[in-house]
Amino acid sequence: MDKFIGTWIAVEFPEYIENVSEVGATWTFTSNNSILITNIYKDNVSEAVNEFKVNDEDSTLCVNPGGLPYDFSMCYTYNFSNENTILTLKYLGNQFMKFNKVQ
């Protein structure tokens, strides 16, 4: 889980997230298993605090809207590269988003 801690800037998005991809998004992971997801649109900013859980055995990251059972989680497979400074998330086997770690 330690590799996730910190702020990550999205650099690649799925095509259907056009409005966010034109401006930006950050995911900030904390050591208490919370994640702040910030989507920056042309006209506004949306922020959501969620919980996350990592399973290193099958390289799964699950993001859960705070307070809901984990059955409501969005789960991704993850891969770190470039000395843990690039995070790639896949959903159902397809690349979902790619992030660069903010130093």
What integer pLDDT is reported at residue 67 of this predicted model? Answer: 72
CB–CB of 48/63 below 8 Å? no
Residue 41 lies in a domain: yes
pTM for this model (two decimals): 0.86
φ/ψ (deg, to 5) at 12: -140, 135
Considering only 40-44, 82-86, 96-100, which range has the smallest mean pLDDT?
A: 40-44
What is the tally of structural domains in the chain? 1
Mean pLDDT rounded to a whole number for the chain: 88
Instruction: Please give the C-alpha separations between residue 55 and each of 49, 75, 85, in angstroms, as whole numbers.
Output: 20, 10, 19
- Tell me the residue range of the domain where 65 lies: 6-101
Band of pLDDT at residue 65, cut at 50, 70 and 90: confident
Residue 14 lies in a domain: yes
Residue 70 lies in a domain: yes
Share of the chain above pLDDT 70, in %: 92
Instruction: Give the residue carrying structure tokens 């705070």.
Output: 66
CATH for 88: 2.40.128.640
Residue 1 lies in a domain: no
What integer pLDDT is reported at residue 55 of this predicted model? Answer: 93
